[in-house]
A and B are shown apart, each in its own frame.
Chain A
């Protein structure tokens, strides 16, 4: 999984009826662009480290240079 700052990570629900959870990537902390990723969770705005598993997908967004 290749992740960049600004990408959106989605964790898919594990149980029937469980909603997906999403977070914005704030920082890539691992070597060579790998995990962990510092993320901000959509609903609460809280931050945590994220180590992606098979239940996660990433949505890439174009990052325009200023």
Chain B
């Protein structure tokens, strides 16, 4: 499975000169927890709702402080055509919860740990179904009697 196929929702971007208040409003308006920060068509950072709280609100930054003052950089990226297993390795080695998917160095979308966990949970539920069925309901009698 290619990484681009694991993207579940639209990506939202904002310029580095925008304010942290703008970022918060856009997150609320779009229902996302993170925005990619894009400058001249390049990804320069990522700002999350947690960044706004810990680096903005908790440190007393004013609401008109620039987004690039609280964003995380550099951003861990994954190629759109890379196998999804590459994402697992990146999550493991970089201890991040989001990966930016790029194609020709252009942002395409975001893959999150939450989305992958939900997909895995659905797959595990499918695999466990025949086993739970056997445990709960036992073996079905064969319709053809055994013969010598």
Stretch of B5-13, B53-61, B90-98 on the interface side: B5-13
Interface residue B46 (Cβ < 8 Å from any Cβ of A): no
Interface size on B, residues (CB 8 A): 24
8 A Cβ contacts from B28-81 to A = 28-31, 35-36, 38, 41
Q: Indicate which residue in A21, A29, A52, A55 contacts B8 across the interface (CB closer than 8 Å).
A: A55
How many residues of chain A are within 8 Å of chain B by beta carbon? 21
Main SS class of interface, B: mixed
Contact status A49-B13, CB under 8 Å: yes
What residues of chain A have their CB less than 8 Å away from a CB belonging to chain B?
Answer: 11, 13-14, 18, 21, 29-30, 36, 41, 43-44, 46, 48-56
A sample of 19 inter-chain contacts (CB < 8 A) reads: A11-B9, A11-B30, A14-B31, A21-B29, A41-B30, A44-B29, A46-B22, A48-B14, A48-B26, A49-B13, A50-B12, A50-B13, A51-B11, A51-B12, A51-B107, A51-B108, A51-B109, A53-B10, A55-B10
